[in-house]
Amino acid sequence: MVTPRFSYAVRRGIAGLALASLLNDDKAFAQDAVLGGEQCTATFPGAFEPKEPHFAPRAKHVISLFMSGGPSQVDTFDYKPALTKYAGVPLEDLIGEKFAVRQGMPGPLMPSPFEFKQHGESGMWVSEIFPHLAKQVDDIAFIKSLYGRSNDHIQSTYEMQTGQIRVGFPSVGCWVTYGLGSESSSLPAFVVMNDYRGGPLGGPADWGSGFMPATYQGTLFPIFRRSNSRFRGA
């Protein structure tokens, strides 16, 4: 049986440990200890201590938007004129071999229903569904060389976040935190905010630390007032 006095003592002890840790981080102790004639510093390099990168950085902050279930690349920025050329042709007839699908039967090729045009000095192809973004293509880097090793949604999500199709590997945010550290040891270096309708397929493994220490994993921030229509679709 836990008595109120015992519970109060435990809470005070935990608060004291937290205060000592904060004072230690801020170098607020009077002096360092001297053991065996040698001075022992009260502070030590933490897991989030800022580290010098290999190359001089230009970006100070990174916001990664992972839009699971977003529009297809062939309807947005990856113009495929061959889809129009071979519209209605079964893919098996075109490539000369059969391939497996998870359910149903593979149908004929379908081109994008949207019109594409080239924009900017770079001549980047952009769908008509992004008329405003098309004006900024010269300031955007489009990476079209990525491909997945699985047609499963969860495994593909893992691969996007960790580079592997299996669970148990650190996410990209963990590697960045491990490699670069953080300017503050009292704030999370890597935070996660899910859509109000739910998180990505795969759950916490998408921002977990895998085989690395848990201190590097992402900190999930709750989004309050999610019923407010102003925050929906933002």
Mean pLDDT across the chain: 80
Provide the residue ranges of all domains of the chain, joining segments of one domain with +.
49-69+148-234
According to DSSP, the residues that pair with 192 across neighbouring strands are 220
- Distance from C-alpha of 163 to C-alpha of 231, rounded to nearest angstrom: 31
- Provide the pLDDT for residue 79: 95
- Residue 27: band (very low, low, confident or very high) from pLDDT cuts 50, 70, 90: low
What pTM was estimated for this model as a whole? 0.68
- Residue 31: band (very low, low, confident or very high) from pLDDT cuts 50, 70, 90: low
169-202 pLDDT, tens per residue?
999 999 988 888 887 777 888 889 887 777 888 8
Residue 15, pLDDT above cutoff 80: no
96-146 pLDDT, tens per residue?
777 666 666 778 899 999 999 999 999 999 999 999 999 999 999 999 898
40 phi and psi angles, rounded to 5 deg: -110, 115
- Write down the H helix ranges in the chain: 4-25, 81-85, 91-95, 153-162, 172-180
Residues 6 or more apart in contact with residue 92 via CB below 8 angstroms: 98, 99, 106
Residue 42, pLDDT above cutoff 50: no
- Provide the pLDDT for residue 24: 61
Spatial contact of 168 and 211, defined as CB atoms under 8 Å apart: yes
How large is the average pLDDT for residues 38-57?
A: 67
- Residue 153: band (very low, low, confident or very high) from pLDDT cuts 50, 70, 90: confident
Among 11-25, 29-43, 122-136, whose mean pLDDT is lowest?
29-43
Residue 54, pLDDT above cutoff 80: yes
CA distances from 42 to 28, 30, 51 (A): 10, 10, 20
- Provide the pLDDT for residue 67: 82
